[in-house]
Amino acid sequence: MSENETPNSLHGPQYDLRSLGFKAREVAVVTGAGSGIGKATAIMAAKSGLAVGLWDMNIAGAEETAAEILSFGGTALAIAVNVGDDAAVAKAWEATHALGPCRYLVNNAGPPSSSSAPFNDNLLLAVGSVHRVTTSWLALYAEQAASVVNIASVGGNFQGGGLTIQPFYGTAKGAIAAYTRHLATRYKGKPRANTVAPGFTITPRTIPYLESPAIKESVTRIPMGRAGLPEEIAAVVMFLLSPAASYVNGVLLPVDGGWILA
C-alpha cells in the first residue's frame, strides 16, 4: 500500500522492524493488546523479536492476539487485567515475569471516548491507570526498564474534540502527555518516555462512528484523504520504544496524516 492509497481492509502495512535495535526475547508489555492499536503494536513487537505480555480486560481478545503471534513463531502471553485496579495490576506483573524482566512498556489501555461513566471516574481510570502500570513496572524493573510509550490523542493536545467526544477524553489525553513529560525529566531517560497522539484511526472501537456526519466531515479534512490504520500508529510506537530512538525523550508526536494542520 502506498502512502496515499486508500486501504481496502482494516489493516495497514507491515514492516520489518528488526533493525531498530531490539534484542531477541527482550520483554515488552502492551496494555489493551486485544484489539486496535494495542493489538497491532503487540504483533509488531513480536515480529521485532520481543516476547510480549498481552494485557487486556478482554482475555478472549488478548488470546486471539497471542494465537496470531504464536502462528508466526513469536512469543506472547495473554493476561487478563483491569489496569484500574492495584491488585489486578500486581497479579499481572507476577504472571508477566514468566517471560523475564520487562524492558519495554506501551500504555495503550483506557476507556473509550464514548464512555458515559462520570467524568471523574473516567479521568481517574484513563490517567491513573497509566501512572499505576508505569510506577509498578519501575518498582519491579528499574534496572532493566528502557522505554515507555504512552498513547494519547490529538484530541486534548492539538484539537479540542468537544464536538465529537466526551469531555473527559481530551482532558485525560492532555494529562497523559503531561505525565509523560514528567516521566521523561524525573527519570532522566532511564527509562525514556514518549507519547504518541493518534488522529482518527479505524479500529473496532471507532468503526461505529464512521457514518457519523461529524466524523465524515472531519476525515475529509485530513490532507492524506483518509483515516489512519492501527499498524500505521503501531510502527511509530515501535520506533519511539526502540533503541533506534535512543535520544528521543519527552516528545508528543501526532500521527494523524496531517489532520491537525488542516
Q: pLDDT tens digit string along 146-199?
A: 999 999 999 999 988 665 678 999 999 999 999 999 999 999 999 999 999 999
Task: Please indicate, yes or no, if residue 2 is contained in any of the structural domains.
Answer: no
Read off the pLDDT band of 211 (50, 70, 90): confident
3-state secondary structure of 77: strand
Q: Please check whether residue 10 lies inside any domain of the structure.
A: no
Q: Give Cβ neighbours of residue 218 (< 8 Å, ≥ 6 apart).
A: 164, 200, 259
Question: Distance between CA atoms of 91 and 80, rounded to whole angstroms?
Answer: 10
List, in order, residues 6 or more apart from 125 with CB less than 8 Å away. Answer: 83, 84, 110, 111, 117
Q: What is the pLDDT of residue 163?
A: 56
Catalytic residue among 104, 141, 169, 179: 169
**For this structure, is 247 an active site residue?**
no
Q: pLDDT tier at 6 (50, 70, 90 boundaries)? A: very low
What pLDDT score does 207 carry? 85
Partners of 31 in beta bridges: 55
Q: How many domains does the chain divide into?
A: 1
Question: What percent of the chain is modeled with pLDDT above 90?
Answer: 81
Whole-angstrom Cα distance, residue 171 to residue 65?
Answer: 30
Half-sphere exposure of 113 (CA within 13 A, CB side): 25
What is the arithmetic mean of pLDDT over 21-45? 97
Domain enclosing residue 194, as ranges: 19-254
| Least confident residue range of 28-32, 71-75, 204-208 | 204-208
pLDDT at 161: 67
Q: Look at residue 2 in the predicted model and tell me its pLDDT.
A: 44
What b/e readout covers 35-72, taking b as 16+ CB neighbours within 10 angstroms? bbbbbbbbbbbbbbbbbbbbbbbebebbbbbbeebeee
pLDDT of residue 13 exceeding 80, the answer is: no
Does 14 fall in a domain? no
State how far Cα 166 lies from the chain centre.
Answer: 20
The answer as to whether 149 is a domain residue is yes
Give pLDDT, residue 141. Answer: 98
- How confident is the model at residue 148, as a pLDDT? 98
Measured distance CA(153)–CA(174) in Å, rounded: 8
Q: Looking at the domain assignment, is residue 12 inside a domain?
A: no
- How do residues 95-131 score in pLDDT, each as one tens digit? 999 999 999 999 999 998 889 899 999 999 999 999 9
Task: Name the grid cell of 98.
Answer: 514468566
Is pLDDT larger for residue 213 or for residue 94?
Answer: 94
Q: Domain of 36: which CATH number?
A: 3.40.50.720
pLDDT, residue 9, reads 55
Is 183 inside a domain boundary?
yes
